[in-house]
Amino acid sequence: MKKIIKTKPLNINDITIIDDSKLKKAITAAALGNAMEWFDFGVYGFLAYVLGHVFFPTASPSIQMIAALATFSIPFLVRPLGGVVFGLLGDKFGRQKVLSMTIIIMALSTFCIGLIPGYVTIGIWAPILLLLAKLVQGFSIGGEYSGAAVFIAEYSPDRKRGFMGSWLDFGSIAGFLLGAGLVVLLSSLLGDAMFYEWGWRIPFFLALPLGIIGLYLRNALEETPAFQQHMENEAKNDADKPDQPKLSVKELMAKYGHSILICTGLVVVTNVTYYMLLTYMPSYLSHNLNYSTDHGVLIIIAIMVGMLFVQPLIGLFSDKVGRRPFIIAGSVGLILLSYPAFIMINSDMVGFIFLGLLILAVLLNCFIGVMASILPAIFPTNVRYSALAISFNIAVLIAGITPTVAAWLVEESGDLYMPAYYLMFIAVIGLITGLKMKETANKPLKGALPAASDRSEAKEILSEHFDNIEQRIDVVDEQIKELQEKRQNLIDQHPKIN
């Protein structure tokens, strides 16, 4: 028999009023860290051909690129470990403290890449040190996106969580754009000789000042309202039940298995599309299609500028129509349009190349525009950071091999449409996940009380809450009526019960 849990009536003072100035600071601090993460991804993706030459000079050009992309992908192996460590710390000590740790580790490891001598100078130690720096970076990133998404979600009013969350991946695109743009600018100013010799190091050096700014912003923030509320409740519970055990990682996986699967599916389809478009495509255009590197990069940059404008609009509309429609539309779009998009990309005509990439970019916006608002809402406050970090990084481990696998598939098969088939296959996972997930828009986070922008909105939320209770009472009354009729029908069929 299902246990009925009695809860006290919700009143206006139970609804958290979010301070607008603190919310803006939280979004800025969280988005900056994410921007730095994707700044490195942008730099690394657009420098793959240079890094292959610097760190793997004895290999053929094809193997150089695959080796450089593999060095990008291998660190994803340690991201789940980073997710477990930082996730557990975040659920125990708070989101703000852990995010301050991850951003400085990420900045230092990225800075160190710029210090590593090339293969010609120190031989095999060059790629080894590159890999070590990327592993440390991957470990810190394991707690970065998940923590930033949780931070923004727990600071956002329920009715604006989609719009506010969309700025996190706005930071991703902006960081990627900054990295890619910087590579183009430096290569143009310095010329190939100087750029190959030392110019490629400059973007990695910039990570340190960015990290220091991010650390300053994050240290200035208070802990999220939802986590503060959770800690107050924990203190009361600990006083009543001091020996209450915490969930282990294994128990976490068992108890929230369905939510973890939903999270994993969403992250896989989002990040495979992300890495395919923004990390692999620059190399695909220059290496496989023999397209001018500068022209290819400029097209990708133009696409990303367009994505910046679309990103917050997707988040805003998701607060009106829900998050699920965008996940389903993006997945169906990839299934139907990936192949036509690659036909355009392979047309050798600038207009069609741009259009093919634009199609993929808009479909990517459908995912990233809602991702930061969906994922934290799947899990309750007490395990939100750890559960999200674990499932997110398991999924990213799968998605992170996308550039390497795509390059290998094209190289082995000779089929330039392999990336399209790859996207279509992954989109099926996205479609199934979108159909199976529950809508999270305009609802309080699990384990947290409702949050509003102001008292007027809080009154509206309270009124809607009471209306919902009344509707549920009407449904229960109707079910009782039907059961009474069934009961009477059964009584009428029994000769001794009358």
CATH superfamily for domain 14-223+255-453: MFS general substrate transporter like domains (1.20.1250.20)
CB atoms within 10 A of CB 57: 12
Structure tokens given for 65: 């690129």
Q: Is the pLDDT of residue 478 over 50?
A: yes
Of all residues in the chain, what percent carry a pLDDT higher than 90? 20
Closest CA to 270 of 110, 76, 430, 465: 430
Report which of residues 68 and 420 the model is more confident about: 420
1: confidence class by pLDDT, cuts 50, 70, 90 = very low
DSSP conformation class of 14: G
DSSP conformation class of 449: -
DSSP-derived 3-state class of residue 17: strand
Top-ranked range on mean pLDDT: pick from 134-138, 174-178, 214-218, 363-367: 363-367
DSSP conformation class of 280: I
Please list, in sequence order, all residues whose beta carbon lies within 8 angstroms of the beta carbon of residue 137, skipping any fewer than 6 positions away. Answer: 40, 75, 105, 106, 109, 110, 113
DSSP-derived 3-state class of residue 349: coil
User: Taking residues 488-498, what's their average pLDDT?
Assistant: 78
Report which of residues 109 and 40 the model is more confident about: 109
Q: Do 273 and 127 form a contact (C-beta atoms < 8 A)?
A: no
Q: What is the pLDDT of residue 241?
A: 54
Q: Is the pLDDT of residue 208 over 70?
A: yes
Q: CA-CA distance, 236 to 233, in Å (whole number)?
A: 5
Q: CA-CA distance, 281 to 345, in Å (whole number)?
A: 10
User: Mean pLDDT, the chain, as a whole number?
Assistant: 83
Structure tokens given for 431: 């479609």
User: Taking residues 220-233, what's their average pLDDT?
Assistant: 74
What are 121-130's pLDDT values in tens digits? 888 888 888 8
Please list, in sequence order, all residues whose beta carbon lies within 8 angstroms of the beta carbon of residue 142, skipping any fewer than 6 positions away. Answer: 78, 79, 80, 81, 82, 83, 84, 85, 86, 389, 393
Q: Is the pLDDT of residue 271 over 50?
A: yes
Please list, in sequence order, all residues whose beta carbon lies within 8 angstroms of the beta carbon of residue 74, skipping any fewer than 6 positions away. Answer: 131, 134, 135
Q: CA-CA distance, 31 to 169, in Å (whole number)?
A: 7
What are 324-355's pLDDT values in tens digits? 999 999 999 999 999 999 999 988 888 898 89
Q: What is the pLDDT of residue 243?
A: 47
Q: Is the pLDDT of residue 459 over 60?
A: yes
Q: What is the pLDDT of residue 429?
A: 95
Q: Is the pLDDT of residue 175 over 80?
A: yes
Q: Do 385 and 87 form a contact (C-beta atoms < 8 A)?
A: yes
DSSP-derived 3-state class of residue 16: strand
**Ranges of each domain in the chain:** 14-223+255-453, 460-498
Q: CA-CA distance, 343 to 66, in Å (whole number)?
A: 23
83: confidence class by pLDDT, cuts 50, 70, 90 = confident
Q: What is the pLDDT of residue 72?
A: 67
φ/ψ of 442, rounded to 5, equals 60, 25
DSSP conformation class of 417: T
Q: Do 421 and 410 form a contact (C-beta atoms < 8 A)?
A: no
User: Taking residues 107-111, what's their average pLDDT?
Assistant: 87
DSSP-derived 3-state class of residue 451: strand
Please list, in sequence order, all residues whose beta carbon lies within 8 angstroms of the beta carbon of residue 246, skipping any fewer than 6 positions away. Answer: none
Model pTM score:
0.80
